[in-house]
Amino acid sequence: MRLHDALDATVSARPLFAEASKSGAKLSADDVKSINRWTRDNIEADRLVSFPVLAIDTAPTRNGIVYSAESQKASVKAWVGKTFLFNSSGGADHTLAAASQVGRIYRSQLVTTAQGETGTLVWVYSVRGVSQQTDEFIGKIESGILREVSLHVMVEGVNCSICNVAAQDCEKAHQPGQKYGKQTCSLITQGPLEPLEVSAVAVPGSTSARVMSDDDATKLVALREALAPAGVDQLNSRPRNETSIERPPTVFESARDQRLRLSSPRRPRFHGRF
């Protein structure tokens, strides 16, 4: 299969990519406040369950996709508010149905893995007592039965790692994941990611993406901070002690942004699951 064929097999109107422990730590007051930004009623802390998820890193996926550090950095805050899906009915993973929604991302951060890769760490919350499906999901997360995850994003474009040109312009028939001499072909994301959802899956494209323990997530954050210049948070280019509270856009802001998207000329975008 040629590179063009790989794209044709996964590209719809806009190219789209998707890749696919126990928590137990007590939620802080800040966490509860962040979570309740997304709820209509304030939810009691004892009903809330939170778990960290490494959504992706810069290591090549099984499908030959590299989510570049630049793409992750440009979109790290865009993960907040996105949904977490689990299809408990036995159908395909990444089923885009409201019935599959079991959690929501309320926090996100860039991290550095022990292997030196740049990764996107998100925190997901769910609520006990909402439904039998949600309670079963929480039980499977906390018991470690559900661990592997896969992301679902849209990207501005991808480059062939060997030719260093846009994938659709690759003329050498390079195939993602195949070796050519000493090089292995990958598709490298260009521009910011537009997150759509994260799903619990059986076999993810990324071998790194997973639900993490709180201790492991803390180690990733600490490693990133240790490697950053003194006093500067590389995740958002602000002093480490300075905090910012994000809020959902108002109806008027959303309408304004939609008008800008419709009126601004843009390149075709990749829309797929990997």
Residue 269 confidence (pLDDT): 52
Q: pLDDT at residue 46 above 50?
A: yes
CATH number of 14-154+190-249: 3.20.16
For the stretch 196-231, pLDDT in tens is: 999 999 989 999 999 999 899 988 888 887 776 544
Give SS3 for 258.
helix
- Beta strands in the chain, from DSSP E residues, in sequence order: 16-19, 48-57, 65-66, 83-85, 101-112, 118-127, 149-160, 179-180, 183-184, 187-200, 210-211, 232-233, 238-239, 270-272
Domain range list for the chain: 14-154+190-249
Cα gap 231→239, rounded to integer Å: 6
In this predicted structure, the answer to whether residue 264 has a pLDDT above a threshold of 90 is: no
